[in-house]
Chains A and B, each alone.
Chain A
Amino acid sequence: QVQLVQSGAEVKKPGASVKISCKASGYTFSNYYMHWVRQAPGQSLEWMGIINPSGDSTSYAQKFQGRVTMTRDTSTSTVYMELSSLRSEDTAVYYCGRDIPGEKYSYYFDYWGQGTLVTVSS
């Protein structure tokens, strides 16, 4: 069965960086793009970007351009999301989500990781 298992919770100081992992299993890793989505406490979901595990190409939301880097390791079927220059507003649960192309040039997420809480506090 498809599983996305993320790394554990992190506590970081403002200005630091955090790197979260998402290990995929139960399917062919290179066949599906992977997204990263975050959710601040009590808020809705916010899309951060997407990575192609096959070719390592990425696309990031403008809001995170320059601060986010998504990478992958095909040998371990793992994708990573690194966010730098952390500030208190980055406190959130971060999710990876497997991409499925939908209709009308749309994309959605059929499987999600369990989430990783990142707390940014001095």
Chain B
Amino acid sequence: SYVLTQPPSVSVAPGKTATITCGGNHIGTKSVHWYQQKPGQAPVLVVHDDSDRPSGIPERFSGSNSGNTATLTIRRVEAGDEADYYCQVWDTSIDPGAVFGTGTKVTVL
């Protein structure tokens, strides 16, 4: 089955930029979606279809996808951005379904 690999953790100072990668074989040919999850809460969609933001999500959140790596970028990081972030694609192989990345814990210093 399809595998998505993320770095376990990213640390960033307030006001700086956090970059979270999501690696997968030819992931650039798929649509990538990103979720933010705070402790004890359900995931929240922050980016869909590589780079589109749902209404209500700040412009500070942006995404890109090419080759074997998709990226979620959080600019001007705030304390409230501290959370786990998961990438997701839809696998159309022999066992179709949603595939999630391993998750990245973003810590705001």
Q: A44-B102, A47-B98, A47-B100 are in contact. Are A109 and B43 (CB under 8 A)?
A: yes
Residues of A within 8 Å of B, CB-based: how many?
26
Q: Is the CB of A44 within 8 A of B45?
A: no
Flag whether B53 is at the interface (Cβ < 8 A). Answer: no
Interface residues of B in 1-52 (CB under 8 A from A): 29-31, 33, 35, 42-45, 48-50
User: Is B72 close to A, CB under 8 A?
Assistant: no
In the complex, the chain B residue whose C-beta lies closest to that of A101 is B90
Closest to A107 in B: B90
Q: Can you list 21 A-B contacts with CB-CB less than 8 angstroms, sorted by A residue number?
A: A44-B100, A45-B100, A47-B98, A47-B99, A50-B97, A95-B42, A102-B31, A102-B49, A104-B29, A104-B30, A105-B92, A106-B30, A106-B49, A107-B90, A107-B98, A108-B33, A109-B33, A109-B43, A110-B54, A112-B43, A113-B42
